[in-house]
Amino acid sequence: MERRRSPAEEIASCTCLRLRKATRRVTQIYDEMLAPAGVTIAQFSLLAHLMEGRDLSVGELAEGLVTDPTTLTRNLKPLLDRALVEISADLEDRRRRLIRLTPAGRQSVVTAHPLWRKAQTRVATLLGESDTARLNKALDHSLKRLIDN
């Protein structure tokens, strides 16, 4: 016996809106706690993706971050300006450009890492252990399906 919902009420159930609201708040928390290291969570994620193994092309890194490649190009700019990453052409395929951390970039990740851990703990405490686990699990499930569609 569900009564007819008004548009405003119905739209309050928007999955996208809920995701966006939660992401804004959580991003604020991480950004605040990472600030002493001079990076945002967006930048930290990007840099951290480069910590392991081989250099990545723009496309590969964009895929890893689930962003549009054009977004990544823009996001690299401030990191290049601060010399935390460097880019060179791939000699095998000169369309591709390979991104890698500079020593300063690597150092940024190392410096920010414990702050990131604190933010992670802070959010987990705020949400509670079990809700955090539930949220993370739900996101992992969802991402898997979202990414190849």
Binding site for DNA (CB under 7 A): 20, 24-25, 27-28, 31-32, 40, 42-43, 57-60, 67-71, 73-78, 81, 87, 90, 93-97
Which ranges of the chain would DSSP assign to H, the alpha helix? 7-11, 15-34, 41-49, 58-65, 69-81, 103-127, 129-147
Q: Is residue 2 at the binding interface for a copy of itself, with CB under 8 A as the rule?
A: no
The phi, psi pair for 101, rounded to 5°, reads: -75, 145
User: Is the CB of residue 84 less than 8 Å from the CB of residue 108?
Assistant: yes
- Residue type (1 letter), 17: L
Min dist CB 29 to DNA, Å, is: 9
Min dist CB 111 to DNA, Å, is: 16
Select from DNA, a copy of itself, none the partner in contact with residue 73, using the beta carbon and a kind-dependent cut-off of 5 to 8 Å.
DNA
Choice between 27 and 88, CB closer to a copy of itself: 27
Spatial separation of the C-alpha atoms in residues 64 and 85, rounded to whole Å: 17
> Binding string to a copy of itself for residues 85 to 124, with x set by CB under 8 A, is what?
------------------------xx--x--x--xx--xx
The C-alpha angle with vertex 74 and arms to 113 and 96, in degrees rounded to 5, equals 95
Select from a copy of itself, DNA, none the partner in contact with residue 94, using the beta carbon and a kind-dependent cut-off of 5 to 8 Å.
DNA
